Amino acid sequence: MMQAGALEGLRLVEAGQLIAGPFCGQLMADHGAEVIKIEPPGRGDPMRAWGQDKPVWWPIVARNKKCITLDLRQAKGQEIARKLIGRSDFFLENFRPGTVEKWGLGFDRLSVENPRLIMIRVSGFGQTGPYSPRAGYGSIGEAMGGLRYIVGEPGSRPSRVGISIGDSLAATFACLGALLALQHRHKTGTGQMIDSAIYEAVLAMMESTLPEYTEGGHVRERTGSILPKVAPSNIYATRDGEILIAANQDSVWRRLAEAMGRPELGEDPRYATHQARGERQVELDAMIDQWAVSWSSNELLSHLERHGIPAGKIYCAPDMLSDAHFKSREAVVKVEDRTFKNLWMQNVFPKLSSTPGRVRWSGPELGEHNEEIYGGILGMSTRELGALQEGGVV
């Protein structure tokens, strides 16, 4: 029998919108935490309307969450929020720094009422420093953190990577911070505040770009599909498409040379070492392109697999849905939803052997869990809840 998720028994109150905060909530809900998402009455999170053609982003980012409506700009709404947070393990927010303090929901006050509380804060530039009051979307954090500068083709404008990676990275680091704080709470009994800035989450991924400059004066530039001086590793045209081949390690290069029917190239001093191949990167790519184009993609992949060479197609959504490996590992799952009848999405990751997370339900309707949360956790009567609804508080 499947066991509950690893975070079952923990409660998180989520007050925020879009991606940078809510993705953290999604990660924790995926692994069993009770995540109660607060949304403005009548409007909800803007993510409810996001998606290509159809608003299918909401069912993913709000999956496994319980959704309530509450106006945090009203004093009564703030009072209710404090009561709910007082009965919770985590409070997650991604408003501009200083906003929740204006609402009486700052850590200094909440931690007095609930010393075990772990407060998770996601923002563009962090809670301190001269830029902290600025509005900061993921794109700005990606630019400031250095990612946008190196993404794209040489000579082109900096490019977006195609997903909201800055937001998601900040949310992932926020989740990591929350679990670190939870371990600290196990030892001390007290909570703490997590400060996850988008630009710093991006900066954390920037590999050796800083010491490349401080030690060698080198500023990493846009290089398109290659990593300079690391070869061969690129996208190569086949008869019916493109595949990525990564044979930049010495031993793998020798296997690729054999697969190409030219084993002598594996020991040729012009190509035998990492440094030598790096100097002849353009030459090597042209050689492999000329060879690969005579194969179909599937034939070439099978041939490379037999020789132990890392290679693969560049997948888009249809490829993922039809791939046998995805199916075997249940990397994508079909989820029941009131609105969308063919709703497939990525599954819960990482996979835990004893307490695997799972998608229990897709993003709820606006205020779907009002009665359960306000009545069950806070003990409100139907009459009290009705009065709050009439006053626009919930």
So what's the pLDDT on residue 4?
A: 79
Q: Do 81 and 165 reside in the same domain of the chain? A: yes
Kindly report the three-state secondary structure assignment for every residue of the chain: CCCCCCCCCCEEEEECCCCCCHHHHHHHHHCCCEEEEEECCCCCCHHHHCCCCCCCCHHHHCCCEEEEECCCCCHHHHHHHHHHHHCCCEEEECCCCCHHHHCCCCHHHHHHHCCCCEEEEEECCCCCCCCCCCCCCHHHHHHHCCHHHHCCCCCCCCCCCCCCHHHHHHHHHHHHHHHHHHHHHHHHCCCCEEEEEHHHHHHCCCCCHHHHHHHHCCCCCCCCCCCCCCCCEEEEECCCCEEEEECCCHHHHHHHHHHCCCHHHHCCCCCCCHHHHHHCHHHHHHHHHHHHCCCCHHHHHHHHHHCCCCEEECCCHHHHHHCHHHHHCCCEEECCCCCCCCCEEECCCCCCCCCCCCCCCCCCCCCCCHHHHHHHHCCCCHHHHHHHHHCCCC
Task: Decide which of 317, 352, 368 is a domain's last residue.
Answer: 317
156 class by beta-carbon count within 10 Å (0-12 exposed, 13-18 middle, 19+ buried): exposed
Report the phi/psi class of residue 276: left, alpha or beta, with left for phi > 0 and alpha for psi in -120 to 50. alpha
Does residue 1 lie within any of the structural domains? Answer: no
Report the phi/psi class of residue 367: left, alpha or beta, with left for phi > 0 and alpha for psi in -120 to 50. left
So what's the pLDDT on residue 1?
A: 46
Q: Do 335 and 309 reside in the same domain of the chain? A: no
So what's the pLDDT on residue 2?
A: 54
Does residue 5 lie within any of the structural domains? Answer: no
Task: Decide which of 317, 340, 365 is a domain's last residue.
Answer: 317
So what's the pLDDT on residue 150?
A: 96
Q: Do 262 and 303 reside in the same domain of the chain? A: yes
CATH of the domain at 255: 3.30.1540.10
Domain count, the chain: 2
Q: Do 150 and 258 reside in the same domain of the chain? A: no
Does residue 273 lie within any of the structural domains? Answer: yes
Q: Quick one: tokens of 83?
A: 């009561």
Does residue 6 lie within any of the structural domains? Answer: no
Does residue 312 lie within any of the structural domains? Answer: yes
So what's the pLDDT on residue 94?
A: 97
Does residue 221 lie within any of the structural domains? Answer: no
Does residue 310 lie within any of the structural domains? Answer: yes
Q: Do 26 and 175 reside in the same domain of the chain? A: yes
Q: Do 111 and 141 reside in the same domain of the chain? A: yes
Q: Do 343 and 299 reside in the same domain of the chain? A: no
Q: Do 247 and 364 reside in the same domain of the chain? A: no
Domain assignment of residue 237, given as a range: 233-317
Tell me which residues are annotated as active site: 167
Q: Do 64 and 184 reside in the same domain of the chain? A: yes
Q: Do 27 and 150 reside in the same domain of the chain? A: yes
The segments of the chain whose pLDDT lies below 70 read 1-3
Digit-coded pLDDT (tens) for 227-262: 999 999 999 999 999 999 999 999 999 999 999 999
Q: Do 257 and 348 reside in the same domain of the chain? A: no
Q: Do 278 and 134 reside in the same domain of the chain? A: no
So what's the pLDDT on residue 52?
A: 86
Does residue 30 lie within any of the structural domains? Answer: yes
Task: Decide which of 317, 344, 360 is a domain's last residue.
Answer: 317
So what's the pLDDT on residue 379?
A: 96
CATH of the domain at 68: 3.40.50.10540
